[in-house]
Structure 1
Amino acid sequence: MQQGMTRAERRAATAARILEAAQEEFGTHGEDGATIRGIARRAGVDPSLVLQHYGSKQALFTLAVRPAVDLAGDDIPTHLAEVLQTRLRELPAPTRALMRSMLTSPEAAAVMRDYLQERTDNLARAMTGDHTELRAALMVSSIFGITIARHFLELAPLMNVDADELALLTENWLGSLD
């Protein structure tokens, strides 16, 4: 028992540890391959605690794969270049889990679709000119495809891209969005 913590604080800490373990487990094995026992083992708790805190594997998966908020910025090309550079680095476990599961799980596909739509809507609102929604969707989809090619297909040119080289190559591509 952790001294100085209330029962509610200990419960919240256990729930957070389980959620973090679930993110890692889903990120490694996907929704189908991850198990409650594996999550519990990774979190250092009894499997019954996983279900007590989250109810079901599906409910835990839905929480575990919520995408992190991207970098914010007023300058659209700079913001998108930062997002792209972030996506070329190691993916956070929740993002990896969601992307690994989205083609086989309708729930994961819905979470990803909603997230991409939100990113598209936000980007379109910040753009000017014609066809802002379509242009935004093309940019979001392109970064999404690059993420898949880098982290899941291991496309050779994207595996060891230098950040400075990437910035130079994407400057013109992203500059047309203002």
Structure 2
Amino acid sequence: MDEPKTRAAKRAATAQRILEAAQAEFGEHGREGTTVRAIAQRAQVDPSLVIQHYGTKNDLFAIATQLPSESTDDNVAEHLSDVLDVRLSELPPETRALVRSMLTTPEATQAMRDFLNERVTNLARTSKHDDADLQAALTVSSILGLTIARHFLKLDALAEISEAQLETTVRPWLTPRRPTA
């Protein structure tokens, strides 16, 4: 990768390095177990630069754990299959950081709640059933549970899911046939 030439480009590159280091640290140690010093060390910058770019550790945590918006298109089964593929593969650092911290940090709890509520609302819009919100919440909760069980608890049965198991067991479980209205 070419070195940034302008002052603004160097500043942006440093900010990006700090953000990536923060995501990695928060993902490995959670919000409480991460220090500004550790972030700076990982980013190979002085700790004062972390504060200069992002303010407090809490401010940096809020930015580092922002999850990308996912759109639910018309093909719900295909979308859920794509989400499942992402959650079964290596988690993005912002997701790892947020999930690791969501039960111990109020900001992470709120961020995760907002993100999941948005997912539930989007998914529920695709159904005409009276209990669409409940069905969507159960689906979203199941994916979260699968994410935690696979990546954090490292349950044996989820460690090495084969492509055949994905097709015969996991995908049908995620997108059960729903009764027609």
Residues 30, 97 of structure 1: 8 Å contact kept: yes
Tell me the SS of whatever aligns to 1:108. Answer: helix
Tell me the SS of whatever aligns to 2:5. Answer: coil
TM-score normalised by length of structure 1: 0.91
Within 2, Cα distance between the matches of 1:92 and 1:58? 20
Q: Which amino acid aligns with 1:121?
A: T
Within 2, Cα distance between the matches of 1:4 and 1:118? 37
CA shift digits 1:110-149 (9 cap, x unpaired)? 0000000011111111223221111111100010111111
The count of corresponding residues between Structure 1 and Structure 2 is 177
Tell me the SS of whatever aligns to 1:12. Answer: helix
Q: Which amino acid aligns with 1:90?
A: E
Give the % identical residues. 53
TM-score normalised by length of structure 2: 0.90
Alignment of 1:1-178 (within 5 A): 5-70=5-70, 73-173=73-173, 174-176=175-177
Tell me the SS of whatever aligns to 2:45. Answer: coil
Alpha-carbon distance change, 7 to 167 in structure 1, aligned in 2, over 3 angstroms: same
Residues 25, 39 of structure 2: 8 Å contact kept: yes
CA shift digits 1:55-77 (9 cap, x unpaired)? 10000001001123447543111
RMSD: 1.9
Within 2, Cα distance between the matches of 1:4 and 1:21? 19
Q: Give how far 1:9 is off.
A: 1.7
CA shift digits 1:41-92 (9 cap, x unpaired)? 1111110000000010000001001123447543111211221121111111
Structure 2, unaligned stretches of length 5 or more? Answer: none
